Chains A and B, each alone.
Chain A
């Protein structure tokens, strides 16, 4: 038994030694991390195939039907020609996908083409992970972008090149409870944000004790900053410039909007529900909230599962600056680990994924939009549905600017401030002032510091 005690002394000793050992390592720095790549990889596959079939790998996210639809598209591409074979791999959520690219790239390998969310675009571009596809886009085998909506092409444009192309595009959608609107004597969905706040109050129903039985609106937990961006832009506010030289989380427009949103919560006209119950969507489907600000993603679920009322879709309201909407979803990129000789083939595949037929096919299966003109023509059947038509009306107003998402410092400061104001009911002005200072401080540490 003394042994244990004896061990304890040795513990101390060992740990001391470990620390000293660790210290010694400074003198002998480990080899540079970036591993040389490509050379030996993939040899067996190439030997096995005597024809010059080019093997590509494509990584994607969006599980469920949306993910399967991507696998199907890849299969269609493989069937359509015999020069290029693409292997499609699902990598999990957007975050998991980015981590997978990160680790693979660090080791000098990875897929040639990948789907990519919006958070990592700038970091990856600045680190040389992404290939400039502008030459391909404008080249003889290019893609006609003349009917791409809003400024979507700008989203992945940096320093004269284009590094990310939109693929699965979501637009903001306001879902509303038709019967609740009729009950409250409202003519239709709100046309302006001022109406939105007014309607939210009118739609609220309370019992005799003053407890809310139906909220005017339920806010999204966790990513309310997304609908908020559309609000802010529509009202003429700004969150940050694209180069982060002027971060304005405490823009008066933002402060005013946050105050109004918070007032609704204080009055019992709005709630940010727990994520588990399906969050805001659960509240809407159960008739506990008359409006939600969301994306087309849950469209099918909401239509199918809403009980005792008619759910309907509308565009987000307009503000003083008209309609300016923040896009959601993800895009498609070519990775710089792709060897030169495979890049033409990689572009061929990207072009296929972006073709009107592919985008239309994807929209049908996934709930994302047929987001540009010719894709909508190809998806004409889908758009016969009044509700889809309304959803697609938002497209021309998209602003291709993911600068809030792309800087971890700005993104987290903004998200935290929003949660603090709407959940903890913190004072909007001081909270946003603090968040602004924090974001400005934090962005200095990032590689795209202004």
Chain B
């Protein structure tokens, strides 16, 4: 009974420490294994996209395939660029993407605020009505929308590319989730000071949600940038079309052919700006979009 308790504790602690270290090492190994495998699988398409875009055509169709091009062929990008008016597509994508994003965020800000802080009958019901719009595939709405746009005289205009997508439930939902977590006192204080809702929104709520706003804006922008079907239907002039349609043109040009190197160069035109944007803003982006859901 008189065995030294402190020694026992030390031994036990030592054993625990060793086993914990072992476990630690195992876990780290496992972590890298999972991360490594994931990175290879998830990153492979980008690798293949880039290398294919640089290969001469003979090396694209060769069997077995080569991991790397034997010579870097930058002319692919020039040829792909010339296959469709990509300069015009870029301008259209940027203009409509930015404009729609700004409107989406602005409208969502007001709507989310209203749902979070202003009393109104049957508010939850209305909110669900908003969320339900996320469930409707665009394909279902194309023709009625087209007829409407025609009535408005918006076909082949930036209006058609900007206004209908300017209302989106996702930013509303995310901002709403965030707003609910804001300390009530702050808002009450603002109200007591006699601030109107507009003032509270712009001076208190919006600044507090700035990182989230940036993230939401980015999601909106990415969504617009990648959209194919809507611009295809509401424009019928090459001068009004956007990048993903340029990609489709490039694909058509290959009709049955296999100029995959040019096609991959084209995909890089479309994907690269978004990737660059994401890499520079990813911290805000990731934190922002997860916040709403996670804190919900």
Whether A and B touch directly in their complex, counting CB atoms under 8 A apart, is answered as yes
**Which residues of A line the B interface, CB within 8 A?**
3-4, 6-7, 10-11, 13-15, 17-18, 33, 35, 40, 59, 61, 63-64, 89-93, 96, 99-100, 103-104, 106-109, 276-279, 281-282, 285-286, 297-298, 301, 305, 307
A89 touches B238 (CB 8 A): yes
B236 touches A89 (CB 8 A): yes
Residue of A nearest to B232 (CB): A96
Given A63-B249, A103-B146, A277:B83 Cβ within 8 A:
no
Given A282-B258, A286-B61, A92:B249 Cβ within 8 A:
yes
Report whether over half of chain B's contact residues are helix, strand or loop; otherwise say mixed.
helix
- Of B10-18, B89-97, B147-155, which binds chain A? B147-155
Given A63-B249, A99-B233, A277:B146 Cβ within 8 A:
no
Show 24 residue pairs from A and B whose CB-CB distance is below 8 angstroms, ordered by the A residue.
A4-B296, A14-B132, A35-B150, A61-B252, A63-B249, A63-B253, A89-B236, A92-B245, A92-B248, A93-B248, A93-B252, A96-B232, A100-B236, A103-B142, A107-B147, A109-B150, A109-B155, A278-B256, A278-B258, A285-B61, A286-B63, A298-B256, A301-B257, A305-B58
Q: Which of A3, A104, A109, A301 has the most CB of B within 10 A?
A: A301
Residue of B nearest to A61 (CB): B252
Q: How far is the CA of A278 from the CA of B153 in the complex (A)?
A: 42
Is the C-beta of B143 less than 8 angstroms from some C-beta in chain A? yes
| A108 neighbours in B (Cβ, 8 Å) | 150
| B84 neighbours in A (Cβ, 8 Å) | 63
Is the C-beta of B124 less than 8 angstroms from some C-beta in chain A? yes
A14-B124, A106-B143 given; 11 more Cβ-contact pairs under 8 Å: A3-B180, A61-B252, A63-B255, A64-B255, A106-B146, A107-B155, A109-B155, A277-B61, A278-B258, A301-B257, A305-B61
Q: Which of B132, B155, B245 contacts A18 (CB 8 A)?
A: B132
| B249 neighbours in A (Cβ, 8 Å) | 63, 90, 92
A107 touches B252 (CB 8 A): no
Residue of A nearest to B150 (CB): A107
Given A109-B150, A277-B61, A7:B124 Cβ within 8 A:
yes
Residue of B nearest to A102 (CB): B143
Is the C-beta of B198 less than 8 angstroms from some C-beta in chain A? no
Please provide the 9 A-B residue pairs with the shortest distance between their CB atoms, ordered closest to farther: A278-B258, A14-B128, A107-B150, A64-B253, A63-B252, A10-B124, A63-B253, A103-B146, A93-B252
Q: Mark interface residues in B8-30 (1 if CB within 8 Å of A CB, else 0).
A: 00000000000000000000000
Shortest beta-carbon distance from B295 to chain A in Å: 10
Contacts of B241-296 to chain A: CB distance below 8 A: 245, 248-249, 252-253, 255-258, 296
Is the C-beta of B129 less than 8 angstroms from some C-beta in chain A? yes
| B61 neighbours in A (Cβ, 8 Å) | 277-278, 282, 285-286, 305
Q: How many residues of B contact A (CB 8 A)?
A: 35
| A35 neighbours in B (Cβ, 8 Å) | 147, 150-151
| B128 neighbours in A (Cβ, 8 Å) | 7, 10-11, 13-15
Shortest beta-carbon distance from B182 to chain A in Å: 15
| B151 neighbours in A (Cβ, 8 Å) | 35, 107
Q: How far is the CA of A323 from the CA of B233 in the complex (A)?
A: 42
A91 touches B125 (CB 8 A): no
A277 touches B143 (CB 8 A): no
| A3 neighbours in B (Cβ, 8 Å) | 180
Q: Which of B83, B146, B180 contacts A64 (CB 8 A)?
A: B83
Shortest beta-carbon distance from B228 to chain A in Å: 11
Residue of A nearest to B126 (CB): A14
B237 touches A89 (CB 8 A): yes
B257 touches A281 (CB 8 A): yes
Q: Which of A93, A103, A285 contacts B233 (CB 8 A)?
A: A103
Q: How far is the CA of A90 from the CA of B248 in the complex (A)?
A: 12
Residue of B nearest to A4 (CB): B296
Residue of B nearest to A90 (CB): B238
| A15 neighbours in B (Cβ, 8 Å) | 128, 132
Contacts of B136-185 to chain A: CB distance below 8 A: 142-143, 146-147, 150-151, 153, 155, 180
A279 touches B256 (CB 8 A): yes
A305 touches B132 (CB 8 A): no
